[in-house]
Structure 1
């Protein structure tokens, strides 16, 4: 699917059409991932980035890629330590 938007003329000269499209794909992917509408892998695919580059972008934008609460993590760590005994 292709989506077209109208931009004011004074913004168009700042970047190439391809650069604007790339930034818009990334911003949309980040938003959908942050809101929980896309998985990490699907968001990376939408952004046209490999998984590691998308994770690095999330880190730069301060978007958590781990959806685990502190209590869930502590419970998992406890279960792992019990399994070792």
Structure 2
């Protein structure tokens, strides 16, 4: 699917169309992942990055890669100790 949007020239004159597409893909991928609409792997694929580079982008944009609370983590660890 292709989606076209109109952007004012003064917002895009300093970047190439390819750079804008790359930035928009990354931004949308981060949004989808942050809102639990896609998996980490699918978001990375949409962004055109491998998983590790996408995880780096998540960190740079303050998007949690592991969405678990401290309490949930402690419960998981306690469960693992009983094995």
- Distance, in Å, in 1 between the alignment partners of 2:70 and 2:12 is 45
Alpha-carbon distance between aligned partners in 2 of 1:38 and 1:50, rounded to the nearest angstrom: 15
Q: Gaps (5+ residues) in structure 1?
A: none
- Whether 1:38 aligns to 2:4 is no
Q: How many residues are matched?
A: 83
Structure 1 residue aligned with 2:13: 13
Please report the TM-score for the alignment, with normalisation by the length of structure 1: 0.91
Instruction: Determine if the alignment matches structure 1 residue 82 to structure 2 residue 82.
Output: yes
Give the TM-score normalised by the residue count of structure 2. 0.93
Larger radius of gyration: 1
Extract structure 1 runs of 4+ deviating beyond 2 A: none
Residue 82 of structure 1: how far off its partner (Å): 2.2
Q: How many Å separate the matches in 1 of 2:30 and 2:12?
A: 23
What do the CA deviations read for 1:6-54 (whole angstroms, capped 9, x no partner)? 1112222110000000000000000011011111111001100000000
Unpaired runs of at least 5, structure 2: none
User: Which residue matches 2:47?
Assistant: 47
